[in-house]
Structure 1
């Protein structure tokens, strides 16, 4: 039996194991001079996602907000269709990394077993385990409500705000960020060494807190890859804005599904590709 949603939210505990970065020794070479010291470096660990006792995926993730990551990954990868299908979630620190034990509804687990793939992802690997090229495009949905044109004018200010709200990147220079923009305001920001993980963390937060996904859009400090576009489409998010370049497959996929894709969003300028 599923928990009611208030108890379910309580069960999805915050991951508090890490600040997302740590100090490491470094030798610096500058102007023919050598010095030693400490640098802050973004953390990255293997995180195993275990559904109903069966290991499904091992991803390389910055171990902050792992509960949000697990929810977002489960949704954006189509493992579950609604957060109600998560009955319990437990995060375990182990010597090699982290394990996230997720109990999901029987119907979701049956579907997962039918299509199960075992993957060891690079940072935010988004196509690992796909068995054929046909699967890349097989299950793409259509955006149900197009992004209002006026949202485009909100992108420059959102990008400026996002740059000021990246605590991990501020000290390491090594993290991507994904943010939710609603009515012109940056509502929340999540960071990770992997851009896809940052987006999954954001998705997990939005869904857990019942934030309407048709009332805002995503901005990211990365390039626009196919995987990011696909994750947005999976959640019916209608606008994705990125600071760097898009790929051809990202553009083609966005066009087919009705996603508005804006890239090179910097210095008060941006380019809209769909």
Structure 2
């Protein structure tokens, strides 16, 4: 089926609802997901299922959080190209970044399994991450306010009950940005791309001065992505893994999880919460 780059993120489809012996025909709004190929120099780096919206931000954010580029200016071009089986994000990188990626590909010894894309050794799964020294602090009351604002702003999830969200909260300003996707990693990458488009300067990370808010659990990949964009605080509605906690501690990120209502649990660097 041909996919359109401007495809809707949700569709209304017929369904049959059963309750005991009763059945009722009707309709439900469901989330769309599309195969998205991320290509650099016409070579495919990763293929993922994603919501067909904010795809330019997905490509830019993925490139930043995976360390394929160090700043938005190193992305020379990004085109959203409809293909028969899905959508291609066709990207061209600055020469030194393209050369580094090509060298990395040549070192791959064989096919890779699912999980961490494009790594060439077990050691590479624990990649070197920047330290986050941002002194930003957040009032404890704003954790609850932030998660409430995140939930209220989730238009796609409200329609479908099938989407994750990542938001950026800044004390005194509230919820600055939010992006949704059927995949939790994709939602965070889209948010990173949106932050990059704001072209923040001053030598700070894209997420400096605020907190990342997540509707998902916190696996190590989410912490790694947060570190790559310089987020001092990471707040999530669900629990973290042990490895995610260790990496957050090492990177200097304040990790807050199980943030529900007035309750939350702070796992690392609690001094940023007051």
Q: 1:23 to 1:120 in 2, by over 3 A?
A: farther
SS at match of 2:126: helix
SS in 2 for 1:207: helix
Matched, 1:97 2:97: no
The worse-fitting range, judged by mean Cα deviation, of 205-214 and 42-51 is 205-214
Partner of residue 137, structure 1: 126
Is contact 2:168-2:207 (8 Å) kept? no
Partner of 1:78: 67
1:226 aligns to 2:228 (yes or no) = no
Q: TM-score normalised to the size of structure 2?
A: 0.87
Any idea what SS the aligned residue of 1:115 has? helix
1:248 corresponds to 2:217: no
1:179 counterpart = 2:167: yes
**1:205 Cα deviation from its structure 2 partner:** 0.5
Matched ranges for 1:254-269 at <5 A = 254-269=248-263
5+ long unaligned stretches in structure 1: 1-14
Q: Does residue 155 of the first structure (1) align with residue 149 of the second (2)? A: no
Equivalent position SS for 1:59: strand
Displacement of 1:260: 0.6
8 Å contact kept, 2:248–2:255: yes
**Offset at 1:140?**
2.1
Structure 1: how far apart are the matches of 2:85 and 2:112?
14
RMSD over equivalenced CA pairs, Å: 2.0
| Aligned position for 2:272 | none
**CA–CA distance in structure 2, aligned partners of residues 262 and 109 of structure 1:** 36
Aligned residues: 256
Write the deviation string for residues 48-67 of structure 1: whole angstroms up to 9, x where unpaired.
Answer: 11112221111111111000
Which of 97, 117, 120 is the equivalent residue of 1:108? Answer: 97
Structure 2, gaps ≥5 residues long: 201-205, 269-274
For residue 43 of structure 1, the aligned residue among 25, 32, 43 is 32
SS at match of 1:138: coil
In structure 1, C-alpha distance between the alignment counterparts of 2:42 and 2:89, rounded to whole Å: 10
Q: 1:222 and 1:259 mapped to 2: Cα distance?
A: 17
What whole-Å deviation, never above 9, does each CA across 1:121-177 have from its counterpart, x for those lacking one?
A: 97xx5x1343333222231221132442x3443111011111111111011000000
Q: 1:27 to 1:121 in 2, by over 3 A?
A: farther
Q: Distance in 2 between matches of 1:96 and 1:174?
A: 22
Deviation at 1:35, TM superposition (A): 1.9
CA deviation after TM superposition for structure 1 residue 120, in Å: 8.8
Is it true that 1:217 corresponds to 2:211 in the alignment?
Answer: yes
Q: Does 1:200 align with 2:189?
A: yes
Contact 2:46-2:117 within 8 A present in 1 as well: no
CA distance in 2 between partners of 1:206 and 1:103 (Å) = 20
Change (3 A) 1:95 1:37: farther
TM-score by length of 1: 0.87
User: Residue 33 in 1 paired to residue 22 in 2?
Assistant: yes
